[in-house]
Amino acid sequence: MQEYGAKEIKLLKDLEAVRKRPSMYIGSTGSRGLHHLVSEVVDNSIDEVLAGYCQNVEVVIHPDNSITVIDDGRGIPVAHHPIYKKSALELVMTSLHAGGKFDNKIYRVAGGLHGVGVSVVNALSEWLEARVTRDGKTWRQRYERGRPTTKVECIGEAASDNRGTQISFKPDSEIFESIEFEWEKIARRLRELAFLNQGLRIEVKDEREERKEVFQYEGGIRAFVKHLNRNREVLFPEPVYLRGEKEDVSLEVAIQYNQSFIQDIFAFVNDINTEEGGTHLSGFKSALTRTVNDYVRKRENKEVVLLGEDIREGLTAIINMKLPNPQFEGQTKTRLGNSEVKGITESIVYENLSRYLEENPSVAKLIVQKAISSSRVREAARRAREITRKKEGLGGALPGKLAACSGDDPEKNELYLVEGDSAGGSAKQGRDRHFQAILPLRGKILNVEKTHLARALNNKEIKSMITAIGAGIKEEFDPSGLRYNKVILMSDADVDGAHIRTLILTFFYRYMHQLIKEGYVYIAQPPLYRVKSKGKEHFLYTEEEFKKLREKLGDAKMEVQRYKGLGEMNPEQLWKAAMNPATRTIYQVSIEDAVEADELFTTLMGTEVEPRKNFIQKHALEVTNLDI
């Protein structure tokens, strides 16, 4: 046995800890973590914007997948630090928890408060070069995998009014699964920042494709809400805009309702997207519910009591808060924890929204009518659920079509949602009955993007899925009730199969959001070909794989079977190719960006035809498997 004594205790110096455990700092070493590097550098520029010293930010993606971020802020200090005896620039770039944001003297509000952002980027980069222009000179220092390879050196004179910071870096391929940056992911975050900082000009270039865009919105978060609702039918043309300050907290909110049955509320603190919400979101929801109910009691029917979910149906809202000392949970800052913020938010929203509704009765009437209609639908849905529970045991007795597994450990169990009774029959015979359950789905389920909950709950396939999964829906969703650790969608590799997957994912996204967010949903990839040659059996999932195998086998005799659907596979083949954990290919479904996911589902599955037509025309040439 390995001896465990004092000498086995290791201290990871400086940035070694980051390279040893990168996921602790950036979430993952996949695509999300890679793009988080860009956000960390850009966030430092945005902190200069928040402090009032920066009006322009430029981001360039170079052909070698290196990135340059340029701003016209004050520039990182370069002078020697009196205590640490090295340049402040080198200190910021090579030391964790070094920066000017730990008190409120230099930055009253900032997103990068932990002092680890740019040093983490440095640690996880093959190389990084920092250039700073301030006080009439330009300074430079270069690093490799977090270590300085040059001193901080002056490389030239600069005009007295010229200032700013330029950071160029190339992610380390030893750390990341891929260092290929995606234009859409970078552009989407930069567009978001331009919306959140009214008037800020952000330019993004991609030298790989000679592509360029400029984001600048004088409308701020009002323009953001209109952008999110651009593919929906809205109740009133201009968003409601609320603004207020209290106890050093600055808050602005933009609200607009549409004719859909969903709610989209995106909350930001110091330009950081708090995807998991927090105290500011709780305060907003409470204030909205209280305000509308107070208005109804004064002006409408005193008997009506509206729930929060009634009032939020069809709501698109942006909450943009500036806070001196935000308490984020974790380095990736997905949830705000400041307890005092709930009351501050509630107060600002209640006061401003109450006044707005009194002064704009026509808008108030539309909001109230939408909420009352939603309340009636909710009651109908509740009755439908109760009737369904009594008849079929929704959340209780399992649906008749479900072939349950014998194991009772949700951590090990899997549920296959299979297209069609024929494929469902093969899957039932081919599965491992101990941990794999099969639920066949007949045809295409209801498109929940276009309908309300009451109608959705009358859909037989949707009821079967809710019952089989066992965790409930919407506000009642409880992950502790899950019967399966994996919910796997298995459909034909054709257009109809893709449509069925999209309908099911739309249902999960709108009604069981956490199921996707917490990583329980997977997509099985069935094979396109089965090839037998030289006594071996090969399952091939793409045309490219088939082409490579054909080249490899040369003139050898091949027995080729091209699958048009799951129903053509016998139980043994289906087990080997799509269900055996040792040999199958399944992909985990993730929600990397809630704003993007929401826009995509609205475009593909919403009521407006024109955006869907434009999407198809734009991406038509990217199709690799067209079924005609």
Tokens of 624: 């690799």
Helix (H) or strand (E) holding 193: helix 183-196
Decide if 438 contacts 427 (C-beta within 8 A).
Answer: yes
Q: Return the CATH architecture of domain 393-526+587-595.
A: 3-Layer(aba) Sandwich (3.40)
Q: Give the residue numbers marked as catalytic.
A: 419, 492, 494, 496
Tell the residue number behind the tokens 């066949």, with chain if given: 440
Strand partners, 586: 524
CA distance 93 to 448: 49
In the prediction, which pLDDT does 218 show? 92
Residue 133 vs residues 75, 153, 179, 330, 484: alpha-carbon distances, Å: 6, 12, 29, 32, 56
In the prediction, which pLDDT does 623 show? 38
Residue 498 vs residues 503, 522, 570: alpha-carbon distances, Å: 9, 14, 22
Measure CA of the first residue to CA of the last residue in the chain; give whole Å.
63
Phi, psi of 568, rounded to the nearest 5 degrees: -80, -10
Which pTM does this prediction carry?
A: 0.72
Q: Are strands 201-206 and 56-61 parallel, antiparallel or unpaired?
A: parallel
Q: Are strands 201-206 and 211-215 parallel, antiparallel or unpaired?
A: antiparallel
* DSSP codes, 384-432: HHHHHHHHH-TTSSPPTT-B--S---TTT-EEEEEESHHHHHHHHHHS-
Phi, psi of 620, rounded to the nearest 5 degrees: -55, -40
Q: Return the CATH architecture of domain 16-215.
A: 2-Layer Sandwich (3.30)
CA distance 533 to 551: 13
Tokens of 114: 């932990």
Decide if 283 contacts 341 (C-beta within 8 A).
Answer: yes
Q: Which fold has domain 220-378?
A: Ribosomal Protein S5; domain 2 (3.30.230)
Low-confidence spans in the chain with pLDDT less than 70: 1-14, 97-116, 300-302, 330-333, 384-397, 592-628
Decide if 465 contacts 481 (C-beta within 8 A).
Answer: no
Domain locations along the chain: 16-215, 220-378, 393-526+587-595
Nearest Cα neighbor of 401 from 457, 463, 486 is: 463
Tokens of 475: 């506000």
